[in-house]
């Protein structure tokens, strides 16, 4: 009998709804072709446009429904002109991370043959690593609560044992899973600034304790500034990188750049009981409503959702479909005439949906 999953959908702002539409069409096609699982999508209000209308960015009913769902699919959110009174942007995605303790921000950086990467990849090398960004504390701890006076401003960075232990367990488990699948060398790198800040020396110390429990995996450390350099000079050396919230925020955009642009970078924020899947990019208000937004990052985030649900609930067909979807996107990326304007082509958002479906059912 088909295993039924309820997916809480947040369509987002700007290009958010435009890139969610093809994603839901593709997921529906994939799941209806399977006897093993079904997906039921329920859309909930949240975001900057909703805040403008109602004064609420993430209604309690939406939060509750998201918590009760099997997974959360979230499109780009926020609008530069819509802000809270303190000047910060509307970001329900950050509220969800905190509400459900989604400590592991998973940002895969994979460069396939069709990716317009700015790097020249040497023969025999491949860029395929995962950046894990802690997503509930770090320098985001006082987000919206920083102290600002006429003469100074302060934010507090928080590293806790509880969250760091879960984070490092997750990182080593991921490295082990990748190694088992024949991807990566089974290595976890702790990215920090332990030479300057005591909080990062503490972070590193907790990492080393977890590393000692995994003698079959390699563990090492790198400073965040050196990591930025190496992500450009030798990204093929990385396997799993794990880091603090703000460092991860910055490095994940660098990772998106390596892949050829924000429109190609998926992400997942994963906790012990819930997960949110969303593209790395923002709501791109400059191109909203024009039908030319690239939906690939959203589609690849949906592929991550299928794999997460399939692994968690032991439904191999979902893991297979996640991989098939990724392969279909790779096929589309090899056809330069099929790409949206951000990647130098002339295709539309709806055209990408057709191209992905054609590649899936070729
Ligand atoms: P945020 O701070 O919310 O992440 P941002 O300020 O980084 O947002 P984005 O909204 O991500 O900005 O947009 C940055 C640039 O990338 C814009 O020019 C936008 O049009 C472009 N862009 C982002 N996502 C896409 C996409 N999916 N398709 C096409 N262009 C995109």
pLDDT digits (tens, 9 = 90+) for 337-362: 889 999 999 999 999 999 999 999 98
Q: Per-residue pLDDT tens for 2-42?
A: 899 999 999 999 999 999 999 999 999 999 999 999 999 99
Taking the C-alpha atoms of residue 312 and residue 34, their distance in angstroms, rounded to an integer, is 18
For 186: left if phi > 0, alpha if psi spans -120 to 50, otherwise beta; the answer is: left
Question: Mean pLDDT of all residues in the chain?
Answer: 96
Answer yes or no: is pLDDT of 1 > 80.
no
- Asked whether residue 88 carries a pLDDT value surpassing 90, the answer given is no
pLDDT of amino acid 28: 98
Structure tokens given for 200:
């990062």
Residue 14: predicted pLDDT: 97
Distance of CA 179 to the CA centre of its chain: 21
Distance 38 CA to ligand 1 centre (A): 32
In the chain, where the domains are located: 1-100+273-362, 105-143+155-265
How large a percentage of the chain has pLDDT more than 70? 100
Do 1-100+273-362 and 105-143+155-265 show the same overall fold? Answer: yes
Mean pLDDT over residues 178-205, rounded?
96
Candidate from 15, 279, 282, 289 with most ligand 1 atoms within 8 A of CB, to mutate: 282
Beta strands in 166-296 (DSSP E): 187-192, 218-223, 240-243, 266-270, 275-279
Report the distance separating Cα 294 and Cα 279, nearest Å. Answer: 11
Is the CB–ligand 1 distance for residue 286 below 6 Å?
yes
User: Mind giving me the DSSP string for 131-157?
Assistant: EEEE-SSBTTTTTTT-EE-SS-EE---
Question: Does ligand 1 come within 6 angstroms of the Cβ of 77?
Answer: no
What is the band of 144 on the pLDDT scale with cuts at 50, 70, 90? confident
Tell how far CA 24 is from the center of its chain.
18
| Domain range 105-143+155-265, CATH architecture | 3-Layer(aba) Sandwich (3.40)
**281 in ligand 1 pocket by Cβ < 6 Å?**
yes
Distances (CA, A) of 183 to 68, 203, 289: 33, 27, 39
Q: Is 38 exposed, middle or buried (0-12, 13-18, 19+ CB in 10 A)?
A: middle
Which CATH fold topology does 1-100+273-362 show? Answer: Isopropylmalate Dehydrogenase (3.40.718)
The protein residue with its alpha carbon nearest to ligand 1, atom 9, reads: 282
> Model confidence over 194-220: pLDDT tens digits?
999 999 999 999 999 999 999 999 999
């Amino acid at each position: 009998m088909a295993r039924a999953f309820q997916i809480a959908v947040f369509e987002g702002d700007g290009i958010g709804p435009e890139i969610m539409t093809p994603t839901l069409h593709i997921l529906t096609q994939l799941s209806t072709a399977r006897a093993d699982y079904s997906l039921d999508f329920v859309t909930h209000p949240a975001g900057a446009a909703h805040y403008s209308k109602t004064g609420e960015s993430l209604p309690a009913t939406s939060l509750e429904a998201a918590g009760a769902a099997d997974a959360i699919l979230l499109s780009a959110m926020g609008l530069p002109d819509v802000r809270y009174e303190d000047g910060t942007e509307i970001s329900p995605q950050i509220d969800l991370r905190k509400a459900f303790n989604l400590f592991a921000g998973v940002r895969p950086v994979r460069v396939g043959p069709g990716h317009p990467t700015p790097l020249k990849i040497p023969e025999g090398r491949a860029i395929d690593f995962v950046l894990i960004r802690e997503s509930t504390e770090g320098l985001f701890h006082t987000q919206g609560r920083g102290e600002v006076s006429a003469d100074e401003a302060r934010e507090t960075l928080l590293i806790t044992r509880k969250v760091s232990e879960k984070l490092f367990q997750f990182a080593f488990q991921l490295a082990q899973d990748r190694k088992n699948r024949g991807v990566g060398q089974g290595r976890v790198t702790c990215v920090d600034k332990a030479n300057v800040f005591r909080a990062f020396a503490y972070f590193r110390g907790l990492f080393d304790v977890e590393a000692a429990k995994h003698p079959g995996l390699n563990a090492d450390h790198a400073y965040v500034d050196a990591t930025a350099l190496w992500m450009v000079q030798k990204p093929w050396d990385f396997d799993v990188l794990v880091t603090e919230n703000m460092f991860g925020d910055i490095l994940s955009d660098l990772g998106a750049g390596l892949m050829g642009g924000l429109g190609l970078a998926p992400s997942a924020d994963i906790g012990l009981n819930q997960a949110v899947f969303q593209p790395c990019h923002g709501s791109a208000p400059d191109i909203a409503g024009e039908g030319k937004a690239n939906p690939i990052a959203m589609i690849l985030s949906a592929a991550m959702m299928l794999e997460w649900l399939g692994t968690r609930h032991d439904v191999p067909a979902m893991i297979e479909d996640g991989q098939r979807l990724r392969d279909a996107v790779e096929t589309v990326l090899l056809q330069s005439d099929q790409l949206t304007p951000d990647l130098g082509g002339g295709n539309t958002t709806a055209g990408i949906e057709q191209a992905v479906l054609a590649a899936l059912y070729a």
